Amino acid sequence: MKRRDVLSGLAMAAAVPTIAKVASAQEAEQQEPRKVAPVEGCVALVTGSNRGVGLGFVEVLLERGAKRVYATARNPDNLPDVVALDPSRVVPLQLDVNNDEHRRAAAAQATDVTWIINNAAYPGSRIPEERRIRSASTLDDSKLVMETNCWSPAELARLFMPIILSNGGGAIANVLSAASWFCLPEYSSYSLSKAAAMMMTNGLRAELDRDPILVASVFTGGVDTRASPAGTKGGVSPNEHAHQVLDAMARGDTDVYAAGSKGMRDMISADPEAFERGRIKRFYESPLTIRNHL
């Protein structure tokens, strides 16, 4: 058994904290100790947990032994079914991520949090032209996309970092997208928000490097939800996606590839211009729409 595994096991047996800074002897010579974030015993807050990817996270956090899960949604009427998964461990909270009062009330109530999963996102207007830079009547909708997908997760991270540290450490997982790496012209404002959120996450990771918080960039590929592109198939289930992400965080991965995004990453790396030309061709010839827009 590697030293890392032994230390990880000891940390879990002691039940403190939910994150352990460990390293093999060889790694220790070469780099800072690697942070790992196993779910067992964590107290997690998940945004947008009433459906889709967020609901998958709640299910799998419970399955893997989270102590408590704050299931949050902008409309609390959507939460009773989530609470019913395990009423003793699921605490419902109203949280429109763009509402500063909601954010502060959540931080005031959920003082035992050790993990936050910034999952909620807005893909942009139902009107395709409004999601673009050239054709939008104003950039108001693009700014709402940026607010929801980048600035609000940053605000939540700012509020919860001191809480997580006061509880001994943990994790921040920001759900990004393969569309952080390239522009989907059908959803330009979404792509630019996810690229900005990727850099925001990189910044957080650097700023928290010497603290016991693992900051994970979750590059999600295709998950079968209301936000999946119409006509596509083969996306993984939200539950399977959550298993992939939580496996990666337990290993200490900071770039988390889930639901097929690694293959896309490899294609982009192999020939970024060809990849971009392919996206532009599709935009003109058979543009993507999402299955059931918000």
Q: Reduced to 3 states, what is the DSSP secondary structure of residue 19?
A: coil
Q: Measured from the CB of residue 43, what is the shortest distance to ligand NAP in angstroms?
A: 20
- Residue 294 and residue 285: Cα distance in Å, rounded? 24
In the complex with ligand NAP, which residue's Cβ is closer, 92 or 222?
222
Identify which range of 31-39, 103-111, 201-209, 216-224 contacts ligand NAP by CB under 6 A: 216-224
Q: Measured from the CB of residue 168, what is the shortest distance to ligand NAP in angstroms?
A: 27
Of 3, 64, 67, 74, the residue at the interface with ligand NAP (CB under 6 A) is: 74
Report which of 35, 82, 91 is spatially closest to residue 60, judged by C-alpha positions.
Answer: 82
Q: Measured from the CB of residue 263, what is the shortest distance to ligand NAP in angstroms?
A: 14
Of 30, 75, 88, 286, the residue at the interface with ligand NAP (CB under 6 A) is: 75
Of 7, 24, 64, 98, the residue at the interface with ligand NAP (CB under 6 A) is: 98
What is each CA distance from 58 to 129, 202, 283, in whole angstroms? 35, 25, 35
- Residue 18 and residue 5: Cα distance in Å, rounded? 15
- Residue 169 and residue 172: Cα distance in Å, rounded? 10
Give the rounded distance of the alpha carbon of 88 from its chain centre: 25
Q: In this structure, what token pair is assigned to residue 258?
A: 């889930």
- 260 binding ligand NAP? (CB under 6 A): no
Restricting to residues 107-136, which ones interact with ligand NAP according to CB under 6 A? 119-122
Q: Are 217 and 254 in contact (CB under 8 A)?
A: yes
- 153 binding ligand NAP? (CB under 6 A): no
- 50 binding ligand NAP? (CB under 6 A): yes
| Residue entry with tokens 């993507």 | 288
- 220 binding ligand NAP? (CB under 6 A): yes
- Give the nearest residue (CB) to ligand NAP: 52
Euclidean distance between the first and the last CA atom of the chain, given in angstroms as a whole number:
49
Report which of 98, 73, 217 is spatially closest to residue 149, judged by C-alpha positions.
Answer: 98
β 68-73/90-94 pair status = parallel
Of 24, 94, 202, 228, the residue at the interface with ligand NAP (CB under 6 A) is: 228
Identify which range of 27-35, 91-99, 107-115, 165-173 contacts ligand NAP by CB under 6 A: 91-99
Residues of this chain that interact with ligand NAP (CB under 6 A) are 47-48, 50-54, 73-75, 78, 96-98, 119-122, 148, 175, 177, 220, 222-223, 225-228, 235, 294
